[in-house]
Structure 1
Amino acid sequence: MAGILGIGLIFVMVFGGYLLAGGQLPIILHSLPHEMMIIGGAAVGSFVIANDFATIRHTIKDLAKVFKGPHWKTSDYRDLLCLLSELIRLAKQNQIDLEAHIEAPSQSSIFQRYPRILADKEAINLMCDTLRSASMNYDDPRQVEEILEKRMDANLHRAMHSSHALQTMADGLPALGIVAAVLGVIKTMGSIDQPPQVLGKLIGGALVGTFLGVFLAYGLVGPFAARVKAAVEEDDHFYQLIREVLVANLHKHPTNICIEVGRQATPGPMRASFTDLEEAIRESRKAAA
């Protein structure tokens, strides 16, 4: 919703101010299709050259974050802590029973109660791999912690590809606008024998290219890249929380301490109160029984 509001505000303020100042919109509208073809087509072509198909698909998918925001919501953080509480408690009671759940999470009665988390392969793999490591009786839990940190850094770096690709496109758009403007000037010079009224429109059309390149870069594509980056960084807190809780478990802390570590590690706006989380955990135990 905020993304749509922001886009609307940009267009209203820019073009509304232009019209109030006495600008003539038909000149822009007449040149817009051709200039957009040059600038937009070149930008998309450069984007395809600079990125592989996996990054292109990832970027198109991540554009939804501009309007929807981060994937993980407040309820997901609470559900995650309830899920981890059940898994850690089971691991301390009966490691063999736990193995049945972490080896086939899609068939696990525990995981199935949290479908949004179960649908995220990275979150599930992170939990299952770490719990499996704990069952191997690592002498030094810091070794597992270091592996997790490297793994999550690599995942975050990969998740940032789309925002980097969009930012690269935004950086190139002003220059592509100049390319379109130069082509417009060349077209104008070919009509140098025309009267001033005709030349004025041709020059105005050429300048639309410069305007469009800068407008798209700083008004749309650049902010899109920043929003995608912010959403990816917010979602990364979800995986960081998994790491914090499971590392606390590797250090042999009681279950309630591990979960409290996770609650404290939850970003402020998403953090459940101690009482609410205790109630949610009790409800999850009742559901399991």
Structure 2
Amino acid sequence: MLNGIGIIVILVCVFGSFLISGGNIGVILHALPHEMMAIGGAAVGAFILGNSLGTVKRAWQGTLRAFKAPRWEERDYRDLLALLFALLTVFRTGGATAIEPHLDSPSTSSIFSRYPRLMRDWSLIEFICDYLRMMTVSFEDPHQIAEAMEGDIERHHAEELLPQHALQVMADGLPALGIVAAVLGVIKTMSSIDQPTEILGAMIGGALVGTFLGVLLSYCLVGPIASKLHQIVDADAKPFSIVKTAIIAHAQGLPTQVAVELGRRMTPSGYAPSFMQLEEALDQAKDELRSAPPAADVKASLI
């Protein structure tokens, strides 16, 4: 919705000001098809030439992603904290024997299945399972865990930003491609130098449309889409930092509820549940663990 409003504002203000000042929109409309073919075709061709097939596919998906609502909502962060509390509680009270069935098959786990929206982000679920599983085999040094998790987060973030980087490179090159189209128009004009002044003027005006389109597409369309995608990728990386904070706090021996509270403090301010909201979510998680505990000692620890 907001993206559509932005595009409408751009078109109305740019072309509206041109018309109000007495400009002849017919010149732009006449030159638009072939100038757009030259600029758009060159941009797409260069994009395909400069990127792998996987990046090209992900860039298209990323463009669509930039026009959608954010993937993570306030309730998702609250659910993530509740999920971490449940998993860390089972791990602390039941040990590796109690937690491993949930980590080996998250899709059938009684804990993970309570949060179907979180299960859609499979890379995050795998991240949680991998590091809890590593801790079950005596990989418990908090510093080693922190270093390994940070490396994984950086790698995942860099891979997610590949399509954004490719789109930004395209945006940076569009003004130059506009000049290429304009030069072709000038060449065409010079080959018709014997034509009357009004015809030459229209041809030169059509050639300049190429420069105009290159700049417009770069700074008012492709560039903003790349910037929006960057913001979305950064926002979607926040849950990984929350998981990292909570698991490291658990590895340092802090109480489970304290570890989850530290994770809450890593939540973006606009989506972070209040202390009382988190308390309610954790109480509900405790009730669910009591009703279907993975091990008898878990139930005893919650009474």
What range describes the TM-score normalised by the shorter chain of this pair? Answer: over 0.9
CA RMSD of aligned residues (A): 1.1
Q: Specify every segment of 5 or more residues in structure 2 that has no aligned partner in the other structure, as ranges.
A: 292-303
Name the residue aligned to 1:82: 82
Matches within 5 A, 1:13-52: 13-52=13-52
Q: Percent identity?
A: 46
TM-score calculated relative to the size of structure 2: 0.93
Contact 1:83 1:110 (C-alpha < 8 Å) held by counterparts: yes
Name the residue aligned to 1:203: 204
Three-state SS of the structure 2 residue aligned to 1:163 is: helix
How much has 1:47 moved relative to structure 2? 0.4
2: distance between equivalents of 1:139 and 1:242? 16
Three-state SS of the structure 2 residue aligned to 1:72 is: coil
Amino acid at match of 1:125: E
Matches within 5 A, 1:183-202: 183-202=184-203
Contact 1:65 1:227 (C-alpha < 8 Å) held by counterparts: no
Name the residue aligned to 1:113: 114
2: distance between equivalents of 1:287 and 1:204? 70
**Number of residues paired by the alignment?**
289
How much has 1:283 moved relative to structure 2? 2.2
Name the residue aligned to 2:218: 217
What do residues 69-122 of structure 1 show as CA deviations (whole Å, max 9, x unaligned)? 432111111110010010001111112121100011111111111112112221
1: distance between equivalents of 2:104 and 2:140? 23
Matches within 5 A, 1:137-148: 137-138=138-139, 140-148=141-149
Name the residue aligned to 1:274: 275
Contact 1:81 1:263 (C-alpha < 8 Å) held by counterparts: yes
Name the residue aligned to 1:73: 73
What do residues 242-284 of structure 1 show as CA deviations (whole Å, max 9, x unaligned)? 1111111111111110110011111100110010111122223
2: distance between equivalents of 1:37 and 1:138? 57
Q: Specify every segment of 5 or more residues in structure 1 that has no aligned partner in the other structure, as ranges.
A: none
2: distance between equivalents of 1:3 and 1:173? 21
What do residues 108-140 of structure 1 show as CA deviations (whole Å, max 9, x unaligned)? 111111112112221111110111122122352
Name the residue aligned to 1:3: 3
Name the residue aligned to 2:243: 242
Q: Which moved more, 1:137-146 or 1:216-225?
A: 137-146
Three-state SS of the structure 2 residue aligned to 1:56 is: helix
What do residues 32-74 of structure 1 show as CA deviations (whole Å, max 9, x unaligned)? 0100000000000000011111111111111123222432111
1: distance between equivalents of 2:69 and 2:140? 41
Three-state SS of the structure 2 residue aligned to 1:160 is: helix
